[in-house]
Each structure stands twice: as C-alpha cells, then as structure tokens.
Chains A and B, each alone.
Chain A
Amino acid sequence: MSEAAAAPKRKVEGVPEKLHVWPYLVRLEFLCALVVIVALAVWSIVIDAPLEEAANPTKTPNPSKAPWYFLGLQDILVYFDPWFAGVVAPVLIIVGLMLIPYLDVNPKGNGYYTYHERKVAIWVYCFGFLVLWIALIIMGVFLRGPGWNLFMPWQYWDPHKVVALVSVDLPYAFGFRDYTWSAIFGGGVLLAYFGIGTGAYFFLERKALKSVGFLRMFLKIQLALIMMGIVIKIVLRIGFNIKYIMVTPWISV
C-alpha cells in the first residue's frame, strides 16, 4: 500500500514533502548500480586495457605523456617552468578549490541550480574546469605529438618536425639587453599586474569590503589574477612569441 493511499495528503504550507528512503531511494541506487556495473562489464569485455612492451629505461618514447588526467598540467609546461606548471600550479588548484566555500560568501544559490544569482562564480569555475582543465586535456591527448608539437588530427606525427624557437623574453622585446635591468623590468611588470589588479578590484568593490572582509577579497583577487595570468601568458607565447616575463637567476616566470 502506498503512503499516499494510507494517509490523505495534507497540504501544510512550508513543510516539504518527505519520502521514505526505502524503497524510493534504495531502488533507484540499485538500478543505477546495475546499469553502471553492466556498462563496465560490457566495456571491459569489448575493450582491452593497453599493455605495451616491457619497461625499458633506455628507450624513451616520443612523445612521453603523463596519464591523461594530468595532460592539462603537462600542457602548461610549454608556457611555464616545471616549478610552476608541475608543483605550484597543482598546489594552487587544490588550495584554491578548498578555499571556494570560504571565499564565496554569496548566500544565494545554495542547493539549487541558478545562473542569474551567481554569474561570476559559475563563469570562473566553468572557465577553469572546462577550458583550462578539460580542453587542455583534450588537446594534450589528441593534438600533442612528437616533441610535444601541435598536430591536427589529420596530420602525420612527424618525429622530425622542426619548429623554430624564436621566442624572446618580454624585457628583451622592450629593448632591455642588460641582465639586471631586464630582471627589474620583468619584476616590475609582474608587480604592476598584481598591484594594479588588486587595487582596481578593491576600488571597484569598495562597498563590499566591510561585509566580505579584507583577507577574503585579497585571496580571491590573487587567485583570480593568477588564473588570468596563466591565460595571458599562453596568449603572449602563442600570439607574440614571448617566453618569460621576468628572468632571474632563481626563478623565471
């Protein structure tokens, strides 16, 4: 006997209707599990996991690719040194994700789909996830060939493809030839980027400072500037052949 028949539905305003988990949720979970397990079994019967020749430390394949889920990170190695692309960027992604609930203080859109009540949050996350993570992975899996060069799907993966390295550092492009002055100029550009970005954000959102708090706003804009900075660096490299913005003996960005 269904619950509806057992007790006539009372319309109590504001009290949401609750259902028994058994059977309504458990049967759904069961069906879902059944579908997933059957799909997994069929997939596993039809498609074999890859096994190449035995590991050989003297024979480096070209290209050598990380597991597919890390190819987004491997791809930004083109634009950044390993200390950033391989260490700092992943740490920033993890820490940044963990900080989301503490930085996003918008009380709206809690527990339901909405775009209009939290446009910026949705845009930032979708851009980071779908473009900087997923699109770069797809590019890394399908379009990166020998030498990590870009190949269209219809192109032959030529291991001898030569791509001229014509990129220069930003200070060089601006005419700086002296090492120290180049470093100072590059550092200045970076400082200006973060300084002006932070300042502009605080000025535009000055009304929110009281309710949101300084630390929240500061961390939020730094993370946003770093994320945008990655995009800017990619554009500078592809569009203007710029290698580094700042070069020092210790780190180069």
Chain B
Amino acid sequence: MANKAPQIPSIAEFIHKIKSGEIFTEIAKEITESQLWTSTFRHGYADTPRNRVLQIASNVWLHLHPVKMHRHALRIKFTWCMGGITFLLFLSTVVTGVILMFYYRPVGEYAYYDMKYLQYDVPFGMLMRNMHRWAAHAMVITVWLHMFRVFLTGSYKPPREFNWVIGVFLVTFTLLLSFTGYLLPWDQLAMWAVTVGTNMARATPFLGNEGPFAEYVGVTPRYDARSLLIGGSLVGPPALLRFYVLHCIFIPLIAGALMIVHFWRIRKDGGISGPL
C-alpha cells in the first residue's frame, strides 16, 4: 500500500487544521526545523537548565558572563552595579559619538559652526550631543564610584591585584577621554579649560619649558611636553586636531583593549569577589 504521491489535503481537512490550530504547530515546525533557523539558533527557548547554560555559553555577547554565579554577587547592595553602568555609558558615548562624527569637522574654521549646525539643524543633533556629554560626565562619576566600591569590599586583594592596576589605567583613560573631548566644541569653555589643563604640562620637571631643571635640558615653549600635547605654544587649531584624534581613535582603542583585559580577568580571577 505504498502511496508515494504527496497527499493534497482536502479543503475540509484544511479548514479542520485551521480551526483546531494544528496549522500553527505545523508552520512553527517548518520554520524551526529549517536550515536557516537551526544554523542561527543553537538551542531552544524552553526554560530548562540546559538551555540556561546554552543561553550564556552560545552567545558571543553574553558569554562574557560565567554560566553560574554566587548569589551574593547579584546583590546591588554589594556591587552598586557601577562597573556595568560605566561600561554601558561608555557604549552610549561610542554610539552618540559616532553619530556626532558625521557632522563635526575638527578644523579651527569649522568646528564651532558645526556645533551650531548640530544643535539647530541636524535632526536630533542636540539630543545626540546632550547624551554624549552627559553620559561622559556620568561615566566619570560612576567609574569613581566603582573604584570606591571595589576598595571598600577589598576586591583588589589577591588574586585580583593585577585587575585593580588595569582598573586604575581605565580610570585615568576615562578622565583623558573626557578631557580630550572637552576641547572639541571649540567654544570659550572648551578652549580655556584645556588651556588651564595643558598649561600644567609646561611645568613638567625636565620636559616642560617652565618646569624645574628645564634649563639643563634646553626645552623651549615651542618644543617641550606641552607643545607635544597641543602641537604649538597655545591651544589652537593643531591642538583641536590632536585632541580629536586622541579622543576618537587613540584613547578609545587603548581603553577598549584594557576593558577586554579587565572583563576577562574578572572571570579568570574567580568572578566577582566575595567572602572566601
């Protein structure tokens, strides 16, 4: 009784399938067993211990986490959530910053007018600029609080000494990221804040033209630690370009690399610290 021909369901059968809902089960089966689906999703969504593990282990974004963790590490009272919030704010500045880069030119003649353009003409330009600036300021605060929490819980103690050192680098780079970005609006606030800040480099011992022992090295206002930083003897267009490159490329790359190490070391050092 082998009937190889595909069976064409009668209309009555078809209507019955729709009425009973069977048709949806069949469609779902067709989709979830297709090559397209199975090559994309490696596991089911049913809440089983196996799927809970796979949810983390087979996802490139989530596999930063361990599969299981101690209950105490979930408590916001313990972690303050500050490290994660700092990273989230960093990502926010990356997204909004890239959008701003489409409209902003780090050139003395254009920079300030590009800011005006962003604020008054670009759709959502003001919002992007606000989010970028406030996220950057917030990130400075949250990274300090994260560091404070890590100190108070003694989480820098063995075996996490190295990760604390990486963290201190990251705090420093957070401040430098914020500082280099401070110049880019090219308004009075920016220029003079950066002038005050970079004037300090002038006083570097040996390497700044006004620093102690400078006379033995022979540095000049045009050729010292400060001029290296701002490309001249005052904060002008070369400084704007230098700070732009540092802000958008150099420091984010280094900070990003250090973040990878920082997060990886958390796992390697036994996860979030806790009572031994």
Chain A positions within 8 Å of B, measured between CB atoms, are 1, 3, 6, 16-26, 28-29, 32-33, 36-37, 40-41, 43-45, 47-57, 59-61, 64-70, 73-74, 81-83, 85-88, 94, 97-98, 100-102, 104, 106-114, 118, 121-122, 125, 129, 250-251
| 11 contacting pairs across A/B (C-beta < 8 A) | A20-B49, A26-B55, A32-B81, A32-B85, A55-B187, A68-B137, A86-B203, A87-B204, A100-B156, A111-B153, A111-B154
Q: Which of B227-276 contact A (CB under 8 A)?
A: 234-236, 273-276
Question: Count the B residues whose beta carbon is within 8 Å of the partner chain — how many?
Answer: 94
Residue pair B168, A36 in contact (C-beta under 8 Å):
no
Nearest Cβ in chain B — how far from A105, in angstroms?
Answer: 9
A25/B69 contact (C-beta < 8 A), A87-B211, A110-B157 known? yes
User: Closest 4 A-B residue pairs measured CB to CB?
Assistant: A86-B200, A82-B203, A101-B161, A44-B130
Residue pair A88, B205 in contact (C-beta under 8 Å):
yes
B220 located at the interface, meaning its Cβ lies under 8 Å from any Cβ of chain A in the complex: no
Chain B residues near A21 (CB, 8 Å)?
Answer: 56, 62, 65-69
A49/B133 contact (C-beta < 8 A), A16-B71, A54-B188, A113-B153 known? yes
Residue pair B196, A65 in contact (C-beta under 8 Å):
yes
Chain B positions within 8 Å of A, measured between CB atoms, are 47, 49, 52-53, 55-56, 62, 65-74, 76, 78, 81, 84-85, 88-89, 92, 112, 115-116, 119, 126-127, 129-135, 137-138, 140, 144, 147-148, 151-158, 160-161, 164-165, 168, 171-172, 175, 178-179, 182, 185-193, 195-197, 199-205, 208, 210-213, 234-236, 273-276
Q: Given the complex of chains A and B, what is the CA–CA distance between A36 and B84 in angstroms?
A: 11
Nearest Cβ in chain A — how far from B178, in angstroms?
Answer: 7
A40/B92 contact (C-beta < 8 A), A6-B49, A69-B178, A86-B203 known? yes
Nearest Cβ in chain A — how far from B255, in angstroms?
Answer: 15
Residue pair B200, A48 in contact (C-beta under 8 Å):
no
Chain B residues near A87 (CB, 8 Å)?
Answer: 200-201, 203-205, 208, 211
Q: Given the complex of chains A and B, what is the CA–CA distance between A188 and B244 in angstroms?
A: 47
Residue pair A110, B127 in contact (C-beta under 8 Å):
no
Chain B residues near A20 (CB, 8 Å)?
Answer: 49, 52-53, 67-68
Known contacts A24-B74, A70-B197, A87-B200; 17 additional CB pairs below 8 A are: A16-B72, A20-B67, A21-B67, A22-B62, A33-B84, A51-B187, A54-B187, A57-B235, A61-B192, A67-B197, A68-B137, A101-B164, A101-B165, A107-B157, A111-B273, A111-B274, A122-B152
Residue pair A112, B275 in contact (C-beta under 8 Å):
yes
Among A1, A54, A122, contact of B186 (Cβ-Cβ < 8 Å): A54
Nearest Cβ in chain A — how far from B43, in angstroms?
Answer: 11
Nearest residue, chain A, Cβ from B196? A66
Residue pair B195, A64 in contact (C-beta under 8 Å):
yes
Nearest residue, chain A, Cβ from B185? A51
